[in-house]
Chains A and B, each alone.
Chain A
Amino acid sequence: MDGPRLFHQDRAGAELLIRGAHVLDPRRDLDESHDVLIRAGRIAELGAPDSLPAPPDGETLDGTGKHLFPAFVDPHVHLRTPGQEYKEDLDTGTAAAAAGGFCAVIAMPNTAPVLDEAAILGSLVDRARREARVPVGFLASITHGLRGEELTEMAAMRDAGALGFTDDGMPVVSAGMLRKALQYQRLCGGVVALHEEDPDLSGEGVMHEGAVSARVGLAGIPSVAESTMLARDSALAIYENARVHFQHVSCVESVQALAQAKAAGARVSAETSPHHLALTDDVVRTLDSRFKMNPPLRTEIDRRALVDGLRSGVIDCVATDHAPHARHEKEVPFEQAAMGTTGLETAFAALLTELVIPGELDLATVVERLSAGGALFGLPTPRIAVDEIANLCLVDLDARFEVGEDGYASRSDNCCFHGRTLYGRVLLTLAAGAVAFRRPMPVHDPTEA
């Protein structure tokens, strides 16, 4: 079967004219001001600024001074459904995605229960069709209960709509188990996405092992806990000619191992997160549990390697690893706090502020890598072109805001950028042709036009 693998509410296609926005679609070499006309949820026409007539039954937005991008796709989010709706659910999680400019997200299966059976996926698909404001795809688990002991019914879950497989949150410790999953992929397809961590090396660690962990006395997670597993699994991917995606790559050694694997012809791809690109373990000196995540924030050398890897394409895309947690799970000493940060609502602004404005990455690269994650899982890439379904976000690059000042669309507020001043506010998100998010902004009165 090859049915749908993205699920969302049925919403009316937008009727909209966006006037004069700076349209940037790096894949199409579009980088200038245009009018963009959307009819019935599709891009109907692109024209010179102020050239297109307002749609009679639609709305006209003034995009002057704003940027219009292909909307972002996040291949790594935790929507906490089923079972942990006190942290997030499909409604609030996709509201956060839309507020961050994302037109699609891929949800991880480490829920309660774990998404390890087709029946669970079936009920999730039903809920997504009722609740999801932007399309959601699901990865099912590789092993039952993420325990690393028995393979799930991967083929049945593919038939039920799974985009691929992961035990995210946990590594597949056994090379033999992973090898069987990679072999089985030849039957059922679907990308196998891997959280790389050797638990013998990470041990009781709660932050990066280095000068900062030595100072604050927290147990460290050495970078080789990740990179040795990434190297091992690259070798398995080559041996089985399997399609493997490496999740949240965090350190220089992993970038090197990844580059080697790609040079050797491995069918591997990789993501890294805005927090690993923008922050280092230096912030953990505060012992603020918002900075506790797995993999941990690493050093400036690692951060630069990730930026270089993203620029060169060794790292294929940005993924937020949006990991909401309730306050009581974070308002405890660092060692006891839950791992993870939210990220959907701040991804673009964090990258713009911390990387584009200081000149480490150009805007086009950031936009490309933020919208590249879906294609790695076989989903269409958002494009700004006539006849394409409208998956767009309109952004004010000059708008400055303090993260969290107006609260969050997410149910949780454990954002590692909380309180920072960032540039770049998403004003409007169109997902699958419909308006999924809109920040109040001036509207053109058509009678004045």
Chain B
Amino acid sequence: MPRHLISIDDLDRAGIERVLDRAESFAEVSGREIKKVPALRGRTIVNLFYEASTRTSSSFELAAKRLSADVVSIRSAGSSVDKGESLKDTVHTLSAYDPAAIVIRSPHAGAAQLVAGWTGAAVINAGDGKHEHPTQALLDVFTLRRRLGRLDGTRIWIVGDVLHSRVARSNILAFTRMGARVTVCGPPTLIPRGIESLGCDATPTIERLHEAEVVYVLRLQHERMRESFVPSLREYAARYQISTGRLAPGQLLMHPGPVNRGVELSADAIDSPQALIGEQVKAGVAVRMAVLYELLVGSPMLAAVA
């Protein structure tokens, strides 16, 4: 395992599989009545969140607690960050507590990597701007692998606002690394120029959506309309909203949350048995436990250092 998890590029296929295998064993822990193992007892994990988050922050916190770590969660509102302290100074301050890991969510690409340069702790990227969200991609691969067995040759469509999505970037990398064939689809204003260089196809229409085995829908933020990326939510929904009517039988539906009901997904699609959205959330805790464990305990090299 690498020392940090900043990008999906830090993991080869074997590394991804190792995390997923570990997550399987932690999923079993989450099924117990006492959902705790002593793996990280006595070690400190700092969650540093510069952006609003419900599922990522809560699942990282639960993951650390189920591994028996001491957890400190810091949100920008009400903290020294709010008083204008620089990221570097905040990280130096927190590093004085000698944490084993710092989990960071930031609105800015590259923040996690900078933090890794300023601390002795292992750094986990919980989302940096529009760059990457590697644990989301791992939990999505985990969810799909559980359902499909393997991703090799699976056709996955990622539909929506790819331009502003760190989830799309990490997932394109993770899905293709696991052997899937990825197509991104959305309004041309929201598909970044040059996206094909990540190893996917791009198309502006959902005409061929039926070819997909998995439909992965991205959130469309309302402000994209004000910025004229889409002329109206009505037109967006007419062209790109995924409803049960547009899903082929047997297709799996995924979404990283939070969903804008009635925009990128119709209510019936969210509630349909084809949707894996609840399973994705559930996978979040086990996969984040696995990432923490592999970074802090799992690697023989790191164990020696520790």
Interface residues of A (CB under 8 A from B): 209-220, 222, 287, 289, 328, 331-336
Do residues B132 and A211 form an inter-chain contact, with CB atoms below 8 A?
no
Binds A, one of B30-38, B107-115, B214-222: B107-115
Cβ-based interface call for B197 (8 A): yes
Contact (A218, B130) CB under 8 Å given A328-B86, A332-B87: yes
Cβ-based interface call for B195 (8 A): yes
Chain B residues near A217 (CB-CB < 8 A): 109, 129-132, 166, 169
Chain A residues near B106 (CB-CB < 8 A): 333
Question: Which of the residues B88, B110, B197 comes within 8 Å of A287, measured between beta carbons?
Answer: B110
Contact (A331, B88) CB under 8 Å given A217-B109, A217-B130: yes
Most chain A beta-carbon neighbours within 10 Å: one of B106, B110, B129, B196: B110
Do residues A218 and B193 form an inter-chain contact, with CB atoms below 8 A?
no
Chain B residues near A211 (CB-CB < 8 A): 194, 196-197
Query: Can you spell out 8 A-B residue pairs with CB atoms less than 8 angstroms apart?
Result: A211-B196, A215-B194, A217-B129, A217-B166, A218-B130, A332-B114, A333-B106, A333-B111
Question: Which of the residues A209, A210, A216 comes within 8 Å of B109, measured between beta carbons?
Answer: A216
Chain A residues near B109 (CB-CB < 8 A): 216-218, 287, 333-335
Chain B residues near A212 (CB-CB < 8 A): 194
- A336 CA / B107 CA spacing, docked (Å): 10
Most chain B beta-carbon neighbours within 10 Å: one of A214, A217, A332: A217
The 8 closest A-B pairs by CB, nearest first: A217-B130, A287-B110, A333-B108, A211-B194, A211-B197, A214-B192, A214-B194, A217-B131
- A209 CA / B163 CA spacing, docked (Å): 12
Smallest beta-carbon distance B203→chain A, Å: 15
Cβ-based interface call for B198 (8 A): yes
Chain A residues near B87 (CB-CB < 8 A): 332-333
Interface residues of B (CB under 8 A from A): 86-88, 106, 108-111, 113-114, 128-132, 166, 169, 192-198
Do residues A332 and B169 form an inter-chain contact, with CB atoms below 8 A?
no
Chain B residues near A334 (CB-CB < 8 A): 108-110
Smallest beta-carbon distance A290→chain B, Å: 12
- A212 CA / B195 CA spacing, docked (Å): 9
Q: Which residue of A lies closest to B130 (CB)?
A: A217
Do residues A210 and B193 form an inter-chain contact, with CB atoms below 8 A?
yes
Q: Which residue of A lies closest to B113 (CB)?
A: A287
Chain B residues near A216 (CB-CB < 8 A): 109-110, 131
- A335 CA / B109 CA spacing, docked (Å): 7
Smallest beta-carbon distance A204→chain B, Å: 10
Smallest beta-carbon distance B12→chain A, Å: 18
Question: Which of the residues B129, B195, B196 comes within 8 Å of A335, measured between beta carbons?
Answer: B129
- A333 CA / B107 CA spacing, docked (Å): 9
Chain A residues near B110 (CB-CB < 8 A): 216, 287, 289, 333-335
Do residues A336 and B108 form an inter-chain contact, with CB atoms below 8 A?
yes
- Chain B residues touching A, majority SS: mixed
Smallest beta-carbon distance A292→chain B, Å: 10
- A222 CA / B109 CA spacing, docked (Å): 19
- A336 CA / B109 CA spacing, docked (Å): 10
Chain A residues near B111 (CB-CB < 8 A): 333
Question: Which of the residues B113, B114, B128, B197 comes within 8 Å of A215, measured between beta carbons?
Answer: B197
Most chain A beta-carbon neighbours within 10 Å: one of B109, B128, B197: B109
Do residues A335 and B193 form an inter-chain contact, with CB atoms below 8 A?
no
Chain B residues near A215 (CB-CB < 8 A): 169, 194, 197-198
Q: Which residue of B lies closest to A222 (CB)?
A: B193
Do residues A333 and B193 form an inter-chain contact, with CB atoms below 8 A?
no
Smallest beta-carbon distance A313→chain B, Å: 32
- A219 CA / B192 CA spacing, docked (Å): 9
Do residues A210 and B194 form an inter-chain contact, with CB atoms below 8 A?
yes
Chain A residues near B132 (CB-CB < 8 A): 217
Most chain A beta-carbon neighbours within 10 Å: one of B106, B113, B129: B129
Smallest beta-carbon distance B85→chain A, Å: 12
Do residues B193 and A209 form an inter-chain contact, with CB atoms below 8 A?
yes
Do residues B86 and A214 form an inter-chain contact, with CB atoms below 8 A?
no
Smallest beta-carbon distance A251→chain B, Å: 14
Smallest beta-carbon distance B187→chain A, Å: 16
Chain B residues near A333 (CB-CB < 8 A): 87, 106, 108-111, 114, 128-129
- A213 CA / B113 CA spacing, docked (Å): 17
Smallest beta-carbon distance A286→chain B, Å: 8
Q: Which residue of B lies closest to A328 (CB)?
A: B86
- A289 CA / B128 CA spacing, docked (Å): 15
Do residues B197 and A214 form an inter-chain contact, with CB atoms below 8 A?
yes
Most chain B beta-carbon neighbours within 10 Å: one of A211, A215, A222: A215
- A332 CA / B198 CA spacing, docked (Å): 26
Question: Which of the residues A214, A328, A336 comes within 8 Å of B195, measured between beta carbons?
Answer: A214
Chain B residues near A222 (CB-CB < 8 A): 193
Smallest beta-carbon distance B11→chain A, Å: 16
Do residues B193 and A220 form an inter-chain contact, with CB atoms below 8 A?
yes
* Given contact pairs A215-B194, A220-B192, A222-B193, a sample of 11 additional A-B residue pairs in the complex whose CB atoms are under 8 Å apart: A209-B194, A214-B193, A214-B195, A214-B197, A215-B169, A216-B131, A328-B86, A331-B114, A332-B87, A333-B128, A335-B109
Chain B residues near A289 (CB-CB < 8 A): 110
Chain B residues near A336 (CB-CB < 8 A): 108
Chain A residues near B192 (CB-CB < 8 A): 213-214, 220
Q: Which residue of A lies closest to B164 (CB)?
A: A217
Chain A residues near B169 (CB-CB < 8 A): 215, 217
- A209 CA / B197 CA spacing, docked (Å): 13
Do residues A213 and B131 form an inter-chain contact, with CB atoms below 8 A?
no
Smallest beta-carbon distance A302→chain B, Å: 14
- A335 CA / B110 CA spacing, docked (Å): 9
- A213 CA / B197 CA spacing, docked (Å): 11
